[in-house]
Structure 1
Amino acid sequence: MHPTPAQPYDGSHDREIESLAEFDEVVAARGSLARFRVQAVDLTGRTDVLLTVDTEGAVFLGCPMSPEASARVRTAGALVFPPVPGLPFDPYRGFVYTPAELFAGLDGPEGYEATPDARTYAWFQRTKSDGDVFCSMLRSLHDDAVSDALDELLVGARVVGVMGGHAMRRGTPEYAGAARLGRELARAGLTVATGGGPGAMEAANLGAYLAPFEDEALDEALVALSKVPSFTPSVTDWARAAFEIRRDRPDGGVSVGIPTWFYGHEPPNPFAAHIAKYFANPLREDGLLARSTAGVVFLPGAAGTVQEIFDNATPNYYSSRGEPTPMVLVDRAHWTERLPAWPLLTSLAQGRPMASRIALVDRIEEAPEALKRLGG
């Protein structure tokens, strides 16, 4: 996976610099920043370097620097896109989010409302329909930066998506089953990716987080979380309960959440180690499915999950190169009677390569084996 900001530049993503450690390594190794892209790195302490190093053709995206350094690199042929003041988010960010970053301030007197996640949602609500081209540009810049960071993060990973509804409550058998699914997939060496929200998504990320620990760790966490079954009426209480689990068992397993501020009333769950949060929901949904290269497990859900089934089925149907990604639908009664997506999916798949890459199982415990059987 992509280096964290604390790690030095290793040449694996040539011409991009996304941390101060990378910046220093490049300058030391090459003696030049010519044609590099420096993204969201605070360079106020590197004025001496910027006054002397070659920056022809370089691009600085949201990098704080002294006025003297900014004037010099522009004169030397660089493009400088300065930080945008007054925003609760960085449109040029070089990495996906962490739970600690999005929920900073959660333990304060204002709780969740003071966090960057809540403040960014409030900004989005104020600007999403005002027609201000500057605000829409900032959202687009942010989402493109997140997509780039997510691609770098997942290089070489075998990603399995777990889709399901946000309404699944902590303390239910369904939530526990989704958590055990996430744990088993993670223990099989797969990177679990979800929509990053509450409900089934949180459960799968929770299971992946606790995968390195003994089985009892998940049992204990399920009991503790059941005391705050939903993010309503209090996101603060819901999120604090999750962070208690993280504090009791730090250094949990790695998984990915890909939520959206479009549904900002649904908070991101804190159990995903990496959170790629978007403003644009279609970009987020397409990106989540496209990156689930080892397959997708669809738990019982409503309209959103049905949409995801056929969003995933469409490129599989038209796939002309490579193999379609496996699709496993869980709960036969749900997908054949309550919301009969399975008959339509099998009709669509008839005579196509994807026909051998779809499966319907009765119980969630059967999903990992079905995924493996399909080649996930």
Structure 2
Amino acid sequence: MRKLRGRSIRVRPIAEAPPLDYGDAPVDPYRHSLYTPAELYDVRPYADSLDARTYAWSRETPTPQATLAQALHDHAIDEALTTWVTGRHLVGVMGGHDLDRSSAGYADAARLGWMLGQHHVVATGGGPGAMEAANLGGFLAHFSRDDLASTVATLGAVPSFHPSIDQWAAKALTVVDGMRGGESLGIPTWFYGHEPPNVFATAIAKYFRNATREAILLQVCGAGIVFLPGAGGTVQEIFQDACENYYATPESVAPMILIGTRYWTETLPAWPLLLSLSRGRAMEGHVHLVDTVDDAADLFSA
């Protein structure tokens, strides 16, 4: 019995909380490390893999237990990623998920990742298309340009994850099998679970919540971000990154490089708005529009 302002109140003992039940969650909400490609592609066919099982589970009608499990999982990934990025200099590459492996654009994105990977760790959204190409370049950064070109040609035999994720992933796994490549980071999300993660990201921070994933992806790229031609997601990333730089102090501004003058001034004219936004701010002088991946890479070595 306690007295509160002259009145007696009875304090009931708190019942012992029951053990937490996360239902049939396929992932460990308390994991302590980032994923590896081997974990997500743990079995074949892909439909039976941890990645596919988790996506299917995330699409079910949410229960309080599932919601809690997902929140705890994403927090655990936050902690693991914070540890992983410490001491590494990350440069981001953003671009479209539907870039065909046999296209010139894919080869350019892979070459960009290769050049950036000489002195930085390449980080992407972890999916297919331009993201896979940039992670591939980072993975092969300590191999020759000829090695990179021959690998891109090999991958071109299975140009897309449509119609078969299994064939697409299998072709990539033959490349990494037994090869000791460089570090590369992917930050995908099960929100877009129909897009499989690429296997050239040696560390994968996969989230359930896309909003969290987008913010974290931009924040960890302290060395700057290169934006290849893309659509809705890439445009969102440009202006989300621009917002961070707009309010940043001069010492914390990260460079932004858009590749493709005609694309970003005519097809999707993000550049004029970005340029206007930067005027008079600390970010002015740190936003660039170039025409080639070589031009973009040169800005990081200048």
Please give the TM-score of this superposition, normalised by the length of structure 1. Answer: 0.74
The corresponding residue for 2:64 is 133
The corresponding residue for 2:79 is 148
1:97–1:276 contact (8 Å) kept in structure 2: yes
The corresponding residue for 2:135 is 205
The corresponding residue for 1:273 is 202
The corresponding residue for 1:50 is none
The Cα shift of 1:323 comes to: 3.2
The corresponding residue for 2:110 is 179
The Cα shift of 1:87 comes to: 2.5
Residue deviations 1:292-326 (CA, integer Å, cap 9, x gap): 00000000000110000000000111113623110
Counterpart CA distance in 1 for 2:298 and 2:271 is: 19
Structure 1 stretches of 4+ with a deviation exceeding 6 A read 79-83
The corresponding residue for 2:238 is 309
Equivalences for residues 64-79 of structure 1 within 5 A: none
Amino acid at match of 2:172: A
The corresponding residue for 2:92 is 161
1:260–1:280 contact (8 Å) kept in structure 2: yes
Amino acid at match of 1:135: A
**1:328 has 2:266 as partner:** no
The corresponding residue for 1:367 is 296
Counterpart CA distance in 1 for 2:248 and 2:172 is: 40
The corresponding residue for 2:39 is 101
Residue deviations 1:258-277 (CA, integer Å, cap 9, x gap): 00000000000000000000
Q: What secondary structure does 1:231 align onto?
A: coil
Equivalences for residues 241-256 of structure 1 within 5 A: 241-247=171-177, 250-256=179-185
Please give the TM-score of this superposition, normalised by the length of structure 2. Answer: 0.91
Alignment CA distance shift 1:319-1:216 (3 Å): same
2:29–2:72 contact (8 Å) kept in structure 1: yes
Paired positions, count? 286
Q: What secondary structure does 2:91 align onto?
A: strand
The Cα shift of 1:83 comes to: 8.1
The corresponding residue for 2:157 is 227
Counterpart CA distance in 1 for 2:23 and 2:137 is: 39
The Cα shift of 1:290 comes to: 0.4
Higher RCO (Cα < 8 Å, 6 or more apart): 2
**1:350 has 2:279 as partner:** yes
Residue deviations 1:109-132 (CA, integer Å, cap 9, x gap): xx10011000000000113xx4x2
Counterpart CA distance in 2 for 1:198 and 1:273 is: 14
% identity of equivalent residues:
50
1:323–1:353 contact (8 Å) kept in structure 2: no
Amino acid at match of 2:151: A
Amino acid at match of 1:267: P
The corresponding residue for 2:12 is none
1:328–1:371 contact (8 Å) kept in structure 2: no
Amino acid at match of 2:137: G
RMSD after superposition: 1.6
The corresponding residue for 1:123 is 57
Residue deviations 1:143-202 (CA, integer Å, cap 9, x gap): 000011001001011110100010101011100000011111111x20100000000000
Q: What secondary structure does 2:183 align onto?
A: coil
Q: What secondary structure does 1:126 align onto?
A: coil
2:22–2:66 contact (8 Å) kept in structure 1: no
Counterpart CA distance in 1 for 2:79 and 2:21 is: 19
Amino acid at match of 1:251: R
The Cα shift of 1:84 comes to: 4.6
Counterpart CA distance in 1 for 2:287 and 2:169 is: 35
1:331–1:364 contact (8 Å) kept in structure 2: no
Residue deviations 1:198-244 (CA, integer Å, cap 9, x gap): 00000000011111223222122111111110001100000000000
**1:88 has 2:22 as partner:** no
Amino acid at match of 1:122: A
The corresponding residue for 1:339 is 268
1:91–1:138 contact (8 Å) kept in structure 2: yes
The Cα shift of 1:81 comes to: 6.9
Counterpart CA distance in 2 for 1:177 and 1:124 is: 34
